[in-house]
Structures are given as structure tokens and as C-alpha cells.
Amino acid sequence: MSAPEPFGTRLRRAMDARGPLCVGIDPHPSLLTAWGLGDDVAGLERFAATAVDALAEHVAVLKPQSAFFERFGSRGVAVLERTVADARAAGALVLLDVKRGDIGSTMAAYAAAHLAPDAPLAADAITVSPYLGYGSLRPALDLARAGGRGVFVLALTSNPEGAEVQTAVTAAGPTVAQTVLDRLREENAAELAAGAPLGSFGAVVGATVGETGADLSFGGPLLAPGVGAQGATAADLPRVFGSAVGQVLPSVSRGVLRHGPDPVALRAAAAREAAEIARFAGSGA
Ligand SMILES: O=C(O)c1cc(=O)[nH]c(=O)n1[C@@H]1O[C@H](COP(=O)(O)O)[C@@H](O)[C@H]1O
């Protein structure tokens, strides 16, 4: 059997074809209400299905946020399973935002839950947290590589509290965030050496963080949340990401979702975001 195509290669193709926009599916209680839906499993199901139907054929990546589904228990998780499957079937790459992080032996179970090919909740990629040490992520990194899936590691998050940990200087010299980015460079090296246009191992760097002073040239994608509701705009991207702007996958949740439930309005909102990103980040469909 031939090796699966790496996630980074699939992501680059999707970003080039559709523009580098990720739309988050975050069914906040207030959004369910604003869409005229109940804050219940039926409302959740309708919300997620509407977002997938409106957007999955148009944007490169959809990013369901697991917590908003998990709060409804097993029935909410069942909706998440269908959401991931339907979005993938409709042609979007699915980045499942679960921000997992644990000791290596438990990380292996999280990896099996989201990156094993036959797992009910498998996605194209997941978000993970490196604060138990980058090495603790090894099971997820290895399973992702074996299956052509991706991992996005938190580096400089969009929230103001993140800097306290992430810009702290390690005993070795670089900041915590730079250490993560340097490890990701090593992670992507083999794929890039084999000719991949983009590595499968990404970092999360918020569009809100301003000039980072970090070396972002690690060869993988940069998920950039914070555009929209958190105050960043597409115009911030060149300042934050500099010459790495071509690797950036800006992510917008509420800034698009607040235009629902009309699918035409949702699509138009995503198209406006994509156009702004193309204007400032120099690419897009
Ligand atoms: O990993 C993430 O997606 C993430 C990382 C980060 O640094 N900041 C951040 O906001 N996110 C997620 O991105 C989404 C942002 O949502 P909006 O602020 O509504 O666009 C939420 O689902 C957050 O959990």
C-alpha cells in the first residue's frame, strides 16, 4: 500500500484552490439563540449542519470546537462525529479543535481517538497543547505522520493570558514559544526534504499577538485565530507573520457565524473574510 498523502500537501492544495480561510464551527449558546434555535441537542445539530452545508464546499478548512459539542454529553459528541464526517465528505479539510495535551501514554489514547484512520472522531488534523513538554506529543505526531494527518501545536495563543507562559525564556535561551516552533521545524524537515510544499505539523499563533519577534520559518502551517470577534483583522496578518504570511491559515468563528442562519449570508461573510485575507496576505481564491 502506498503512503498516504501528507496533510501539509493536502492543506497547501486546499489553501491554493479555495483561499487560506478556516471557519470555526463554535456553537455558542448565544449563537444558537440568535439563529432561533434551542440551546439543546436539536439546536446544536441544526446549527452544525447549516454551517457545514453552507461552507464545506467553499472554504479550505472547517474547525469544529469540540467543547461546544461535548457540553451536551454523548448526544453532542454524536453530533460532532456527524459534523466531522459530513464536512469531510463535502470537501473541506477538518481541523478538530480539541487542544489535547497529557503524559505520553495518555496522549497515545487521545491520538487514537482523533488521528487513527478508523476512529469515529478522526479528523484531518487536531489542535494540541505542548505544556506537558513537546516530547509528550510524540504519539500524536507519529500517528498523524503515519496516516497523512496533521497536528497544530499551540505556540503564541490569541488570548492575552498566553504570553505569561509562552514568551517566558527557557533555561536554554529561546522563549517557550520559539522552542515549540524549533521542534516543529525538525518535525517538518523530512517531508519538506521530500519535496512537500508545506509541512504537516503546524503552530497556532494568534492574529492578535502583534509583532512576535519569533522565527516562524519552520515550514508548517500557521493557524491564526483571533480575526473577527477577538479584534484582529486581516490587515494585522503581514505585521504578525511577516515573510511567513503565505503559510498562514487565518481562522474566524463568530465573525462568520454571527451572519447565520441564512446559508447565503454565511457564505457571503466567509467570502468577505477570504477577500480581505487575499488583499492583505497576498493569496486566496
Ligand atoms: O486553537 C485554536 O483554535 C485557538 C487558539 C487560540 O490561540 N485562540 C483561539 O481563539 N482559538 C480558538 O479559535 C476560535 C476563535 O473563535 P472566534 O473568536 O469566535 O473567531 C475558538 O474556537 C478558540 O477556541
Q: Which of 62, 114, 84, 98 is nearest to 249 (CA)?
A: 62
- Residue pair 26/254 in contact (Cβ under 8 Å)? The answer is yes
Based on the structure, what is the number of domains in the chain? Answer: 1
**Is 99 an annotated catalytic residue?**
yes
> Looking at the domain assignment, is residue 284 inside a domain?
no
CATH of the domain at 225: 3.20.20.70
The preferred substitution site among 28, 68, 158 for testing ligand 1, maximizing ligand atoms within 8 Å of CB, is 158
Q: What is the dihedral of CA 140, 141, 144, 149, to 10 degrees?
A: 110
Indicate whether 2 belongs to any domain.
no
The interface predicted TM-score of the complex, written ipTM, equals 0.99
Per the domain annotation, does 118 fall within a domain? yes
Mutate to test the pocket of ligand 1, among 97, 223, 257 (most ligand atoms within 8 A of CB): 97
In-domain check, residue 68: yes
- Host H or E run for residue 223: strand 222-225
> Is residue 138 lining ligand 1, measured as CB closer than 6 Å?
no
Say if 1 falls within a structural domain.
no
SS3 131: coil
Residue nearest to atom 9 of ligand 1 (CA): 225
Which listed residue (88, 99, 254, 258) is catalytic? 99
Q: What gap in Å lies between CA 139 and CA 277, rounded to an integer?
A: 34
Distance, CA 22 to ligand 1 centroid (Å)?
Answer: 11
Is 108 inside any structural domain? yes
Question: pLDDT tens-digit profile of 116-135?
Answer: 999 999 999 999 999 999 99
Beta bridge partners of 150: 125
* Residue nearest to ligand 1 atom 24, measured at CA: 65
Q: What is the mean pLDDT of residues 98-125?
A: 98
Half-sphere exposure of 221 (CA within 13 A, CB side): 34
Whether pTM > 0.95 for this model: the answer is yes
Ligand 1 site, residue 204, Cβ cutoff 6 A: yes
Instruction: Identify whether 140 is part of a domain.
Output: yes
- Locate the ligand 1 atom nearest the alpha carbon of residue 127 and give its number: 1
For residue 254 and ligand 1, the question of a CB distance below 6 A is answered with yes
Residue 25: domain span: 7-279
For 17-65, write each residue's pLDDT tens digit.
999 999 999 999 999 999 999 999 999 999 999 999 999 999 999 999 9
